[in-house]
Amino acid sequence: MSAGAAQPAALGPRDLLAALAVVVLWGLNFIAMKWGLESFSPFELGAMRYAAASLPMVFLVRPPRIGWRWVVGFGLFQGVGQFSFGFFALQLGMTAALASVLMQTQVFFTALFGFLALGERPSRPLLIGMALAAVGLVCFGMNFVGPEAGRAGGATLIGIALTLCAAASWSVSNIVARLAQRAAPGYDPLAFVVWSCPAPILAFALLVAVTEPDAARWLQADTWRALPALAWGSVAYLGWAATIVGYGLWTRLLTRHPANRVAPFSLGVPVVGLAAGMLVLGEVVTGWQWAGTAFVVAALGCVLLGPRAARD
């Protein structure tokens, strides 16, 4: 490194705690998605998620002091892009456990887009961690090799393809958040996330109206009264815990640290997702999935402890 190049500051205890909180919130996120899709279509659940995230927060939080193109762009990629693909993946053949793993390919997309758009070069510990994570993802993919291919862990090829598209959309929203920080240093991450929510609501509502023949049923009070408590609980968790708290903390981290340093923390999400899928939904974890989990944990340890070991 040249003498004039500044080394980005390591994550402090508060940022590490925030990152771990996001890991737990997003790991359980996939359970709430599965439950929500029992009562809503993917586009309906997307609209409900962001309606919950918007209300009552838009009345309590002032708009961020930043260009609206960043706010709307973040909302469309992080909301409509990620969750349209993600919800359809879960509906068309993807377990919550495996979805929580494949979504972490956003680390690779984020590193690539961060290099192309922001010039952020990955550190050696990050490269090693990404290599370990790649081996882990290959282990998960091994479920599709051999005589049991097509029945691996409840996943389908279309489910995997849609999940990868969701991960790519998530990574673009990471880059939008970093570009927004460059355009308006010190913007309020919570306000940024809250005010990015109305755009997905409008987009999802339009998609529901265009694609679903019985969309008019949502204009009837009986439809709302018939929703079970589990549906309301799923929407509340997705809107407030996973979106407002989770993405608020995540975006705050992205405003304080390079995207390729923050993104690898999401590698802990599949550990929580796999455990939750097994314990809550009764999903089966294969030997290959356990191997993949071990590599993911090793990758996370490398990313967390590597920079400190390099300084010692």
Nearest CA to 55 out of 195, 207, 208, 161 is that of 195
Residue bearing the bigger pLDDT, 308 or 141: 141
166-181 burial, b at 16+ Cβ within 10 Å, e below that, comes to bbbbbbbbbbbbbbbb
pLDDT in tens, 117-134: 878 777 787 788 888 888
Burial of 301 (0-12, 13-18, 19+ CB in 10 A): middle
**pLDDT computed for residue 133 by the predictor:** 81
Provide CB contacts within 8 A for 280, sequence distance 6+: 31
Does the structure show a pLDDT above 60 at 110?
yes
Question: With bands split at pLDDT 50, 70 and 90, how would you rate the model's confidence at 260?
Answer: low
Q: How confident is the model at residue 3 (pLDDT cuts 50, 70, 90)?
A: very low
Q: What percent of the chain has pLDDT over 90?
A: 35
- 11-20, 22-31, 186-195, 257-266: range with lowest mean pLDDT: 257-266
What pLDDT was estimated at residue 148?
A: 52
Query: CA–CA separation, 55 vs 197, rounded Å?
Result: 10
Task: Give dist(CA 69, CA 80) in Å, integer.
Answer: 15
Q: Which of 23-32, 169-178, 300-309 has the lowest mean pLDDT?
A: 300-309
- What's the rounded mean pLDDT across residues 241-250? 86
**In whole numbers, what is the pLDDT of the chain averaged over residues?**
84
| pLDDT score of 38 more than 60 | yes
Is the pLDDT reported for residue 222 higher than 80?
Answer: yes
